[in-house]
Structure 1
Amino acid sequence: MCGIIACRAIEPAPGYLIAGLKRLEYRGYDSAGIAVTAADGTTAVFRTTSRVDSLTGLVDGWAGPLLAGTGIGHTRWATHGGVSEQNAHPHQDCEGRVSVVHNGILDNADRLRAELVHAGHRFSSEVDSEVICHLVEDRLLVSDDLLDAVSGAVAQLTGSWALVVLDARTGRMVAAAHRSPLLAARSTAGVFLASDISAIGDWVEEFHILADGDVIEVTNDLVWTHAGTPVAVPTAIPRPPRPTFSLTLEADDHMAAEILEQPEAATRLLEEVGGRIATGALWNDLGLPRFDRMRVVACGTSLNAGEVIGSALSRLGGLAHSSVVASEAAGSVVEPGTLTVMMSQSGETADVLRALDESPEGFPVLALVNNVHSTLGRKVDAVLSCSAGPEIGVAATKTFVCQILVGTGLVISSLVASGRMDTAQARRLVNDLYLVPEQLAEAAAAARALLPPLVDEVRGAKGFLFLGRGAGVAYAAEGALKLKEITYRWAEAYPAGELKHGPLALVEQGTPVVVVDDGDPRLAGNIAEVRARGGRIITIGRAGSSIEVPLSLAAPCGPLAAVVPLQMLALGLAVELGFDADKPRNLAKSVTVD
């Protein structure tokens, strides 16, 4: 979940590298660094534990030889080793000839490090990635060809990697990938590598994706090999539309903007898929077989969205569903007639990809992602985009809404296609979906007006409970997750009926208890239980709630509009407490490590 960029450009490399790293900073912001070839045949390395912007000052202060157009860059989310300049990428070999940036986890790093130390290599960091530098260094003693050296080095690795190696002596650059995303692109500006097309989208029109086991050399062109054998360059993929977000937005602004963009994103998605739902075409076009039950495999926010989608299948079609935490999916039993839906905003979530690799064969798998060209999208039987557009805030917002909308649309469409729902009922449900953008906008307006005094009242609370019933349970879970992610306060979500089975012991005078109230009559008793213990009730939902949001009793995806005040509650509290909601501590987007 770190970010990589590299270039062999006509203009000096630092401008490209730093601009690209700003685009990738949501993937990791514990530290950042670049290595650039210099006119005297050396490599200039700049590293920082501050944000990417601070690299500009370091480069501006450079008094050494002229910096050239070839370089590599990295923004880090710490795994092995603490947050320090010493552990920041790029890493170098003993002589400073080889510089490496790496994303992924090396499972055999400890053994390799021990062997390399025994052979006389000197390590300067705690990071697993540094072993790559020394492996390449050793291979260059056997063959002075960097492509051969990197191919030989990665053959010794186990785990996952996207890596780029820069040789100061020759100026050559080689990249490799295995179970971690990396892409390459060419344009009149130069040749570029990146973890994500957003990093280099300003300079290229199309890109090529490295497959597992690919090793390529970046000259003025691309030299592609796989398992030591030259192969053709993969088919180019057109660059998607450039992101509309601004890099000048201040802290918290991306998440705030993305919350407010949800009505627009929902409208855009429904315009794309809405007309194909009630006809069954949305399902039929995927080419998947009829199914009798659904198994959702996902993590975090995507798991909550998947629970909403699965619940819609059970409620509307009477079919069974299950939700599986991706990191715990190994060994789970898949029954005949099951459709597995693997959900990931980035399509690069390592836990989901590992679950896919460990899934039993012979069962259809559908990916629901925000990037159809992602690793997950390329490895499954069919792929469906939630079309949310770029999302920079680490805590997912509009992707959650769009996943639910397209997933619920898929459920309805599959029921029509299988003869389990008539077209008239499907059209009524689709009409309800078309109401969602306006409902989201109204919910945002209500939250803006009513939340500030509530946030002020609960800012000192150390813990929160979130409750719901039925379709509201998954939204309560998402509200608790958002609060935990960006306010660093404990927050637990439960079906409201579970209060009496343990969680009620947590409630004391003033404990904030947030209730997603979709009109279930049983909630009144649960609220009374909390109030009797002195809890501070905040209801979100039907008329008379602390924050009223538009609800449709026929809504196929439950009280979706309630998620907007839940998101804004978390954001408002984070801002009030002085935290950076866009980049919460210890977290990053696109979780590409196990």
Structure 2
Amino acid sequence: MCGIIAARVTDDATPYLLDGLERLEYRGYDSVGVAVRTAAGTIETVRSVSRVGDLRARVAEHAATVPVASAATGAGIAHTRWATRGAVSERNAHPHADCSGRISIVHNGTIANAGRLRSSLEAQGHVFRSEGDSEVVAHLVERALTVDPDLMLAVQLTAAQLEGSWAVVVLDARDGRMVAAAHRSPLVVARSDRGDFVASDVGAIAPWCETFVPLRDGDVVELGEAWSWSSGGLAVPVPFPTPAPFAADTPDRGDHADHMAKEIGEQPAIVATILDRVGRRTVDGSTWAGLGLPAFDRLAVVACGTSLHAGQVVAGVLRRLGGVPTDVVAASESDQVVLAPGTLVVAISRSGETADVLRALERFEDRHPVLALTNDVHSSLARRADAVLDCDAGPEVGVTATKTFTAQVVVGVTAVVSALVASGRLDPTRAAALVDELAELPGRMAAAAAVAADRVPLLAATVRDAPGLLFLGRGPGLPYAAEGALKTTELSYRWAQAHPAGELKHGPLALVDEGIPVVVVDHGDHRLRADVAEVRARGALVVTIGGADSDVPALTASRNATADLAWGRGTAPWGPVEAVVPLQMLARELALQAGCDVDKPRGTARAVGGAWPVTPG
């Protein structure tokens, strides 16, 4: 998803903007740019279709060639773009300017009526330099300023003409005034002794600001000696600030080659921390009681990508232990879904800013209570939900989720177990056995990581030239197979498909040919033997992740006899969570052997503003 950072400070804004952009890299992007006001009252803009590091070098080269009178001042805006309209190019990268170069803007989201607005502006003589929808904002502000010279009013008039979603920061080169506006796209403002800051993510400004204020839909704010705040066109008091939730420093990789490796390794400790926090409250039902949610007859998970797979695990636990009907909804397809009365919606998003999830809530939140499961309790999703569960995974720098997946599973599972206890569907004694079983997870995951570190590099080298991979699972193992396939596609840029093993004969078997890798999550279901034999008979290169006789013996039997008796075959109702560790490591190793950047893979973003409906121009 796109990222915004803006600064109005007492010294040169450029270092703040570049540092903030680096803190936004985790969101995924394909171009980046910065615009700063100069002492001469102009705007200097530098863009790149590479990484922030390249932009930093370009900015340094540019600064060395401009006259002293054009040195940067304390006002500037910057942006990371995830292309949704218009090719990846410097001309489509933000910031964008008006015809005169006086007004510069950065924008997240989608202007749904951009086509009509652009046609109107072009008919009046405005000249556009980019293909996207964002540039219309700069020209609308320019047009409004010809009627009234006040920038705050010009942005208010502009916002009133927009349809869709936007988080916008507008910078005036003449006087350095800066105005921000938001609707259906996250934006926060903050003040410290260094000056004023705007960002799409509070983590981008955490080093300089201890508190922040999120903009609500329809808010327009001018930064300055005293903030001017309006909502829906009317002046309102400045809201009370909220303490920043994140540490000021970007997590260091330590001895690890990349952030992904570090974050995979953090999973056992994160699971242990979560269980220490919620274990007892799970057994007595108080976790659920404390959320204040009404009783429910059904549960619907709404999520995307990795979060959707975590939601499948959570929904499966509720079905198996409580017999509660569940729906698992891909948020981008929520328009096709009708939820029954008495349904609780569990919306899952790592960032809490996933546009597809937020859009889905527009259909559901007025008719169904919403529980948010997110790693950011100050996010848009958290603010819109009736209750929030914190994944408590800490900052995750890698664009593809690893430790937050595991945290979502454990937090979600303990929450629904607590709900079953609180509603009388599950005996506390059995709940205690379940928590004891979960308490084994940190050790299991650490053991799985050690086994995978020994086996995975050679396996990856064996299959790295294959055009794609097939992943198979059954029952509670299937979400983990799906997550393994997703990670492989995201990181190594090759096809990887996950299917229920029992569905092989109904189509997917056509993909199996001599040497095609088939990765099987084998949690002990006896039916998998026939499925494996079926693909081996066609020449597949089978890689099993399972018990002692597997290719990657990462799954160990439970030490909890009570738990084994509770659900049979030694398989917990949440399935083989530890299997995700070798799957993550396999995807990472395949990517590294192909020369890919595992922390910043192409084509992957945490949220895309372009998910909002687009009205034809």
TM more than 0.5 = yes
1:146-185 paired onto structure 2 within 5 Å: 146-185=151-190
Q: Is the 8 A contact 1:8 1:220 kept in 2?
A: no
User: What is the CA–CA distance in structure 1 between the aligned matches of 2:250 and 2:529, rounded to whole Å?
Assistant: 43
Unaligned runs of 5+ in 2: 559-569, 612-617
Structure-1-length-normalised TM-score = 0.98
- Structure 2 counterpart of 1:287: 292
What are the within-5 Å matches in structure 2 for residues 185-584 of structure 1? Answer: 185-242=190-247, 245-246=250-251, 253-359=258-364, 361-551=366-556, 552=558, 553-584=570-601
Indicate conservation of the 8 Å contact 1:177/1:212, yes or no.
Answer: yes
SS of the equivalent of 1:224 reads: strand
Moved more, 160-169 or 313-322: 313-322
Cα 1:360–1:175 change in 2 (3 A) is closer
* TM superposition score normalised by structure 2: 0.94
d(CA) in 2 for partners of 1:60 and 1:507? Answer: 53
Deviation for aligned residue 1:218? 0.7
Determine whether 1:52 maps to 2:52: yes
1:433-472 alpha-carbon deviations (Å, 9 max, x no partner): 1111111111111100011111010000001110011100
CA shift for structure 1 position 383? 1.0
Q: Is the 8 A contact 1:433 1:556 kept in 2?
A: no
Post-superposition offset of 1:392:
1.6
Paired residue type of 2:27: R
Quote the Cα distance in structure 2 between the aligned partners of 1:48 and 1:164: 20
**For residues 340 and 504 of structure 2, what CA distance do their matches in structure 1 show?**
33
Which string of whole-angstrom CA distances, capped at 9 and with x for unpartnered residues, describes residues 216-265 of structure 1?
A: 00113422111111111122111113166446789971111111111122
Q: Structure 1 residues 171-180 or 362-371, which shifts more? A: 362-371
Contact 2:82-2:608 within 8 A present in 1 as well:
no
Deviations 1:469-526 (A, max 9, x none): 1100111111111111111111111111001111111111111000000000000010
Aligned length: 594
Contact 2:251–2:397 (CA under 8 A) maintained in structure 1: no
Find the partner of 1:585 among 602, 605, 617: 602
Rounded to whole Å, the distance in 1 between the matches of 2:583 and 2:57 is: 39
* CA shift in 2, pair 1:40/1:243, >3 Å: closer
Contact 1:4–1:101 (CA under 8 A) maintained in structure 2: yes
Structure 1 residue runs of 5 or longer lacking an equivalent are none
Q: C-alpha separation between the residues in 1 aligned to 2:292 and 2:433? A: 25
In structure 2, the CA distance between the partners of 1:248 and 1:444, relative to structure 1 (3 Å rule), is: closer
AA in 2 matched with 1:212: D
Is 2:23–2:250's contact at 8 Å kept on the other side of the alignment? no
- Runs (4+) off by over 6 Å: 247-252
Partner amino acid for 1:123? F
How big is the shift at 1:322? 1.4
Q: How far, CA to CA, are the matches of 1:47 and 1:522 in structure 2?
A: 55
Instruction: Tell me the amino acid that sits aligned with residue 584 of structure 1.
Output: P
* Change in 2 beyond 3 A, CA 1:249/1:159: farther
Check 1:275–1:221 CA distance in 2 against 1; reply closer, same or farther (3 A cut).
farther
**1:45-86 deviation digits (Å, cap 9, x = unpaired):** 111112112222233231232211111110111111111111
2:144 corresponds in structure 1 to: 139
SS of equivalent residue, structure 1 residue 358: helix
Query: Aligned equivalents of 1:191 and 1:278: distance in 2?
Result: 46
Query: Deviation string for 1:144-166 (max 9, x for gaps)?
Result: 00000011011111011101000
CA distance in 2, matches of 1:18, 1:306: 36
CA RMSD of aligned residues (A): 1.5
Task: Tell me: CA distance 1:401–1:18, structure 2 relative to 1, closer, same or farther (3 Å).
Answer: same
Q: Say whether residues 1:121 and 2:121 are aligned partners.
A: no
Q: Which residue of 1 aligns with 2:113?
A: 108
Q: Secondary structure at the match of 2:505?
A: helix
2-structure distance, mates of 1:571, 1:320 = 36
State the shift of 1:593 in Å: 3.1
Q: Which residue identity is paired with 1:53?
A: G
Per the alignment, in what secondary structure is the counterpart of residue 471 of structure 1? helix
**Counterpart residue number, 1:41:** 41
Counterpart residue type for residue 441 of structure 1: A
CA shift in 2, pair 1:247/1:170, >3 Å: farther
Separation in 2, partners of 1:360, 1:11: 45
CA deviations over 1:199-227 (Å, ceiling 9, x no partner):
11000101000000000001134221111
Aligned equivalents of 2:581 and 2:602: distance in 1?
A: 23
C-alpha contact (below 8 Å) 1:2/1:103 kept by paired residues? yes
Residue identity in the other structure for 1:17: L
| Structure 1 residue 554: Cα displacement | 4.8
Deviation for aligned residue 1:298: 0.8
* Whole-angstrom distance in 2 between the partners of 1:244 and 1:280: 36
SS in 2 for 1:277: helix
- 1:319 is displaced (CA, Å) by 1.3
Q: Residue 4 of structure 2 aligns with which residue?
A: 4
Do 1:214 and 1:227's aligned partners in 2 also have CA atoms closer than 8 Å? yes
CA gap of 1:243–1:317, structure 2 versus 1, over 3 A, is: farther
SS in 2 for 1:547: coil
What amino acid is the match of 1:191?
Answer: D
8 Å Cα contact 1:136/1:150 also seen in 2: yes
User: Equivalents in 1 of 2:173, 2:397: separation in Å?
Assistant: 34
In the TM superposition, what is the alpha-carbon distance from 1:566 to its structure 2 partner?
Answer: 0.4
Measure how far apart 1:42 and its partner are: 1.0
Does 466-475 or 361-370 show the bigger shift? 361-370
Q: Compare 27-36 and 9-18 and name the one that shifted more.
A: 27-36
CA positional deviation for 1:584: 1.4
Per-residue CA distance 1:365-419 (angstroms, 9 max, x = gap): 1111111111111112111111111112111111110000010001110111011
Looking at structure 1, the residues matched to 287 and 335 of structure 2 have their Cα atoms a distance apart, in angstroms, of: 30
